[in-house]
Amino acid sequence: MAEELVLERCDLELEANGRDHHTADLCEKRLVVRRGQPFRLTLHFEGRNYEAGVDSLTFSVVTGPAPSEEAGTKARFPLSDAVEEGAWTASVVDQQNSALSLQLSTPAHAPIGLYRLSLEASTGYQGSSFMLGHFILLFNSWCPADAVYLDSDAERQEYVLTQHGFIYQGSAKFINSVPWNFGQFEDGILDVCLMLLDVNPKFLKNSGRDCSRRSSPIYVGRVVSAMVNCNDDQGVLYGRWDNNYQDGISPMFWIGSVDILRRWKSYGCQNVKYGQCWVFAAVACTVLRCLGIPTRVVTNYNSAHDQNSNLVIEYFYDEYGAFQRKKSEMIWNFHCWVESWMTRPDLQPGYEGWQAIDPTPQEKSEGTYCCGPVPVRAIKEGDLSTKYDAPFVFAEVNADVVNWIQQEGGSVQKTINNSMVVGLKISTKRVGRDEREDITHTYKYPEGSPEEREAFRRANHMNKLADKEDTGIAMRIRVGQSMTMGSDFDVFAHITNNTAENHACRLLLCARTVSYNGILGPECGTKDLSDLSLEPYSEKSIPLQILYEKYCDCLTESNLIKVRGLLVEPAANSYLMAERDIYLENPEIKIRVLGEPKQHRKLVAEVSLRNPLNMALGGCTFTVEGAGLTEEQKTVEIPDPVEAGAEAKVRVDLLPLHVGRHKLVVNFESDKLKAVKGFRNVIIGPP
């Protein structure tokens, strides 16, 4: 009778598996693998090795607190030569002395999460069981059978593995790229992502069902959308838009997701203050990429928040063009969400691919503040019955804006405003390059095309199908030079009269600071021309001066000023409106890297910024972070004021941990100049 088989240890082959599964950064202390792809392990026995025909080996894997075979959260499978597609299998790769090398295969539809792996070894009538260890299973965009499969290696590199990128802000006419450190493979982030799944209300209500449904990226995307905001649960971020952030951190301050997710964990899953749309989107992108779902952050300019789903946003003004806030339906200067790549077996064919997911808490979906995933293709086709939340996303990129003038007698008059078009310059970072890619065409057909009209008909968007009236008089707001923070500048109301008549008009021009979500601040420039004569076939350009001393105290951290012109022709009782959002450019942050950039060798970054204002800056700080370059965020304070025109300069020590291309991301804060961003690509060589 053969002696009992005794396991001495199990080697989970962290280095080889990490390399094969694109999880090397996660596999330093434990095994992290992707589903649908085999991984290796080696069993070392005491005394004798395994003998086929004598010994019987059976493996067992479980995930979640209530594992069951029906739910797909538990499996038992023998050592076997037969490889069965879509099932858990184990087979022998090599056998030497007392070591047995095995290959374990996982189904491409297995739930993701933390698994326990154990072994039952039996010889004749005697048997023992051994705990082999734990491993984490992720989605696999390299595996053709996985629902998140992407066939382009460059896209997998960008949307799953790249730990840095850009988020687009500013305005449609001046797009500002903000660097961001996603850091999905940084120390402890995967644990935070799994914790986020384990405190979600669906898990707390029925953990067995929740763990089973983690096989679907649709389900996981929806859970993450809800958990990044804290409106219904122990979610990550608290959203705030009123410019009062003293008891937390201003949303504009953040430069990466890592610090936010680590804070959430260290606060015992209490929300982190504060987030706005790009922060919600960036944190969702980090979590989804970490779990293996290809994801990108997108920005939509002039984004509508349509509460009653009638696809119309109505604004009311008095006769002097002063805005009267009646409802909370707004046009946001820009709004960010994420897109994730997956199949949609729950929908008709053709709706696989990019799905919009919006974690910013705006409206409830099935009783929870979350939005999506909805196929971007369904938005383009105007197919509003598609799951999930198609009407809301369709309105974000297509709603019509109607402006009403409330006259003193109580009557309302419609005003023409051709300058406010919803859903412009939809942007994301280009694959493999530090450039913007315009993806508007994935959401919308070309303006005026038959396909666009068909999509509007399908969506019952009648307002958009009506012909626009043309009075022969046009106005737009123009700008001269580029506008920088701290400067005085002129903007112009450019008016053309394309008719044969003379028109006696009144022009009201007003500039007000504005938050990125459309909330107006105080005035910073006005002009009222009560007797403006427009000669036949003429053009006029009327300047409005905007002074730093007027906007300096009321500009929000999004650096935006809204200029609005109202042209009134009393004789015809007609109103024409034009508007433009102006982004004030911040000074450049310069970053020099001193020393030879090599792995595990200390580096110094010299970070500087010239004060563009005509007054001193107090309370200056630089904050830097970068996946693979710093273990945690570092902040350096400058003790003395930085005089007008002088340079703020600090040095920061870095210790690069990984070879390859990394981004150092910087934020500068002071009393009069806030949320200035900069970055530098750093290529780290081997030691």
Provide the token pair at 497. 């009269």
Q: Active-site residue among 21, 22, 305, 335?
A: 335
Q: Above 60 in pLDDT, residue 328?
A: no
Which residues, including other chains, have CB under 8 Å from residue 467's CB and lie 6 or more apart?
none
Q: Above 70 in pLDDT, residue 463?
A: no
Counting residues of the chain whose pLDDT is more than 90, the rounded percentage is 79
| Active-site residue flag, 358 | yes
Instruction: Give the pLDDT score at 317.
Output: 82
Q: Active-site residue among 25, 55, 259, 358?
A: 358
Q: Active-site residue among 10, 27, 269, 277?
A: 277
Instruction: Give the pLDDT score at 236.
Output: 97
Q: How many CB atoms lie within 10 A of CB 154?
A: 10
If one compares 44 and 330, the residue with the highest pLDDT of the two is 44
For β-strands 560-569 and 574-583, DSSP reports them as antiparallel
- 174-228 tens-digit pLDDT: 999 999 999 999 999 999 999 999 999 999 999 999 999 999 999 999 999 999 9
Picking from 429, 345, 344, 426, the residue whose alpha carbon sits closest to that of residue 159 is: 429
How would residue 329 be classed by pLDDT, with cut points 50, 70 and 90?
low
Give the Cα separation of 201 and 227 in Å (integer).
Answer: 9
Evaluate the CA torsion angle 177, 180, 184, 185 in order and state its sign. positive
| Active-site residue flag, 146 | no
Q: Above 80 in pLDDT, residue 71?
A: yes
Instruction: Give the pLDDT score at 379.
Output: 97
Instruction: Give the pLDDT score at 269.
Output: 94
Instruction: Give the pLDDT score at 1.
Output: 59
Give the Cα separation of 670 and 610 in Å (integer).
Answer: 12
Q: What is the largest CA-CA distance in the chain?
A: 112
> For the residues 540-555, what does the mean pLDDT come to?
94
> For the residues 588-595, what does the mean pLDDT come to?
95
Stretch (H or E) spanning 333: strand 330-342
How would residue 56 be classed by pLDDT, with cut points 50, 70 and 90?
very high
- 642-662 tens-digit pLDDT: 999 999 999 999 999 889 999
- 371-406 tens-digit pLDDT: 889 999 999 999 999 999 999 999 999 988 888 888
- 222-261 tens-digit pLDDT: 999 999 999 878 999 999 998 899 999 999 999 999 999 9
- What DSSP letter does each residue of 448-460 carry, written as one string? T-HHHHHHHHHTT
Average confidence score pLDDT of the chain: 93
Distance spanning both ends of the chain, measured CA to CA:
55
Which residues, including other chains, have CB under 8 Å from residue 601's CB and lie 6 or more apart?
595, 655, 656, 687
What are the start-end ranges of the H helices in 319-427?
376-381, 390-398
Picking from 658, 662, 682, the residue whose alpha carbon sits closest to that of residue 604 is: 682
Instruction: Give the pLDDT score at 376.
Output: 98
